Amino acid sequence: MNVFAAISTEPSLFSPELLPRLPQRLVEMVLTNIGIPEWLVTIAGFLAAAGTVVGVFLSAFALLSLIERKTLARIQNRIGPNRAGWFGILQPVADGIKMLTKEDIVPAKAEKFLHLLAPILIVVPSILALGVIPYGREWTPVPLELGLLFFFAVGSLTEVSVFMAGWASGSKFPMLGAMRAISQMVSYELPLVISALAVVMVSGSLSLPEIVGKQGGGFWHWNFFTPWGIAAGIVFAIAAIAEANRCPFDLPEGESEIVAGHMTEYSGFKYALFFMGEYLGLFAISGLGITLFLGGWQAPLPGLDFVPSWIWFFGKLAFVIFLFLWIRGTYPRLRMDQLMRFAWLCMIPMALLTIPAAAIWHFTGRGLLSWIVTVPVLLVPWVIVAVIFNRRLAASTRTYTFAE
């Protein structure tokens, strides 16, 4: 059968809803019609889907690097990038050329192979995590039954790559920065995972497309608009900021304190890979939060289903990313002791509370009675923890003595 004839018999191939899957479907259709074995067609389809995801988010990374600088400039009452191209729109291109042409400096005492491998390994987990997120009704690049488990499993590789970067540099400053980064990531990964467990309990599945499917019918069915979902969503959002190394939790790259953290001995394109991994990780963790708490690709109202589902997802993603930028331009960086104290004495207890609250919500019918019973279960311990944390366990005021 002619390939072009096969394409013409697929009227839905170019529909707006299925547009993101167009490269994958074209590859599968062409290979099937020329007699390629089915297992090779499946592999090629996955590769085409992966290429689409990587292409979309690499473009988004370049665009976000400009939007973030423009947004922070607006918040801080300054102009921002405005020299490369019209209103600075070519600034990401200029940054890419600069990073590609800068000299790659490797310390004499560094472990050469691991020094090269670390920035690559920090990008790979983010790309793998992006592959299991459902971006639309018909667009989940790799629809795994254990998608949530896979997301957190590959996300843990980030800690390994950060430690590898610090240790392989052969210098004390990257090593100190790497240890501080790992302590932060491990501490905030606990409330991140625990808050997601509440969603798993209520949804009864680890499949991300199935979790999204159970939030359909309007925004009042989204997990965030439940008492346990509000608490779990707030905990997840705060932990996600720390996991993504964003301000006010950007201690791993606290330039004013420890040079550039685990990236101190990196330059050129290797240095750019660390920032690429950070931004891709930001997209991944934001997409997961949208999937778990904000209905994923579901429309906020039932009557808006005529809009392609992937547009709703990326609209929510843009909103969440803007919140990250707004927070970065608003709050100052925390001290390390404040960061760790907040994680272990406040975040983890509140994350643990969401599990019984989700169970009560599920077994009391999810109606008015559920609100009456669940809200005190969350609110009373929250107030107690807040009072204890602020009055008893908060860091004492430091006294500085200056030379006369």
Q: What is the pLDDT of residue 257?
A: 58
Mean pLDDT of 262-283: 86
Beta bridge partners of residue 136, listed in sequence order: 139
Q: What is the dihedral of CA 240, 244, 250, 254, to 10 degrees?
A: 160
- Quickly state the pLDDT bin for 293 (edges 50, 70, 90): very high
Q: What is the pLDDT of residue 208?
A: 92
Exposed/middle/buried for residue 64 (C-beta within 10 Å: 0-12, 13-18, 19+): buried
Exposed/middle/buried for residue 366 (C-beta within 10 Å: 0-12, 13-18, 19+): middle
Q: What is the pLDDT of residue 139?
A: 84
pLDDT, tens only, 222-259: 999 999 999 999 999 999 998 888 888 877 666 555 56
Whether the model clears a pTM of 0.85, i.e. scores above it, the answer is yes
pLDDT at 379 over 80: yes
Q: What is the pLDDT of residue 95?
A: 87
In the block, which residue shows the tokens 């005529």? 306
Give which of 263, 260, 271, 281 is closest to 324, Cα–Cα.
281
Q: What is the pLDDT of residue 239?
A: 92
Cβ pair 180, 262 in contact under 8 A:
no
Rounded Cα–Cα distance for residues 293 and 283 (Å): 15
Mean pLDDT of 179-197: 89
Q: Which residues contact residue 143 at a Cβ distance below 8 angstroms, ignoring those fewer than 6 apart?
A: 132, 134, 207, 209
Burial 376-386 (b: 16+ CB within 10 A, else e): ebbeebbeebe
Q: What is the pLDDT of residue 18?
A: 73
Report the percent of the chain where pLDDT is more than 90: 17
Residue boundaries of the structural domains of the chain: 1-96, 102-367
* Max avg pLDDT among 247-261, 275-289, 322-336: 275-289
Q: What is the pLDDT of residue 13?
A: 60
Beta bridge partners of residue 139, listed in sequence order: 136
Q: What is the pLDDT of residue 210?
A: 92
Chain-wide mean pLDDT for the chain?
84
In single-letter form, the type of residue at position 29 comes to M
pLDDT, tens only, 358-374: 989 888 877 888 888 88
Residue 286 has φ and ψ, to the nearest 5°, of -70, -40
HSE of 359, CA atoms in CB hemisphere, 13 A: 6
E-assigned strand segments in 106-239: none
Mean pLDDT of 119-139: 88
